[in-house]
Amino acid sequence: MKKKLLFVLFLLAIMVIGIGCSATTDQPLKDDERVITEETGNTGEEKKVLRIGTPGQHYPWNFFEAGQLKGADIETIQEITRRIGYEAKFDIMAFEALYGSIDTNRIDTGA
Amino acid sequence: MEDLIGKRFIANPSYVAYQFITEYIEENNLQGQIELIASEAEPFMEIQLGRADATFSSLVLFNEKKEKGEYDLKVVGEAIGEQRHAFPFRKDVDPEFLEQFNNALREMKEDGFMSDLFIKYFDLDISKSQM
């Protein structure tokens, strides 16, 4: 029963995050709107940003460990963005929302 | 696959594994020679309990599932299929960016980054085909 309740709360949490994200536009994001951003270097100039949607709950592709987003997909895209000089910005969203969010230009890709 | 003759194969009818084994049985006229158990139960558990002999499993997920469930099972035979994995982009994505992205990913396959990453997570280098 406790487990079930936790699961429901978890689903609610996902929904809340989803609603929060839906308010974002194509305007440049303020720092506090970024779910997770990563510095990929220290060149002093504004980095281009790659927006990546991920559920963060599909071990071992994308998951959270001690509050850190990890996984094979996550580390692949982190390394790609590092190599091409982009900043990786992760948005946590349900898997089902990924394609729609790419289509409507809220994110660039999914992991 | 021929080793399945005389064995009980378990699969969930709503999964692709069930479709695959059904077609295999039909194509090779093995009706009655491989016993197909259609079940929504966890196939690893059913095999562990002796209620079935074999099922299909993702190579990538096998070890984790085995350890988590403490199953005394092993992978036998050869890989029967593989899935490709990609990052999706909109069709109007900047072609110059896409080329940079793909080049970086290609380099990561070539310089061993992807191999190391997959071995770390899966104990298996899936940057190379297992077929």
Size of interface A-B (CB pairs under 8 A): 45
| Candidate from A60, A83, A108 with C-beta closest to B89 | A108
- The reply to whether residue B88 touches residue A76, judged by beta carbons under 8 angstroms, is no
ipTM: 0.72
Which chain A residues contact residue B68 at CB under 8 A? Answer: none
Domains in chain A: how many in total?
1
| Candidate from B90, B105, B121 with C-beta closest to A102 | B90
E strand map for B55-127: none
The listed CATH number (3.30.420.40, 3.30.70.520, 3.40.190.10, 3.40.50.720) that belongs to domain B2-69: 3.40.190.10
Cα distance between the two ends of chain A: 32
Tens place of pLDDT for every residue, chain A, 111 residues? Answer: 444 444 444 444 443 333 333 333 344 444 444 456 555 555 556 789 999 999 999 989 999 999 999 999 999 999 999 999 999 999 999 999 999 999 999 999 999
CA-to-CA separations, B81 to B2, B16, B124, in angstroms, rounded: 16, 11, 16
H/E stretch holding A51 reads strand A48-54
Q: Which of residues 56-85 of B touch A (CB under 8 A)?
A: 64
Q: Where in chain B is the domain with CATH 3.40.190.10?
A: 2-69
CATH number of the domain enclosing A42 = 3.40.190
H/E stretch holding A108 reads none
Which chain B residues contact residue A108 at CB under 8 A? Answer: 89-90, 93
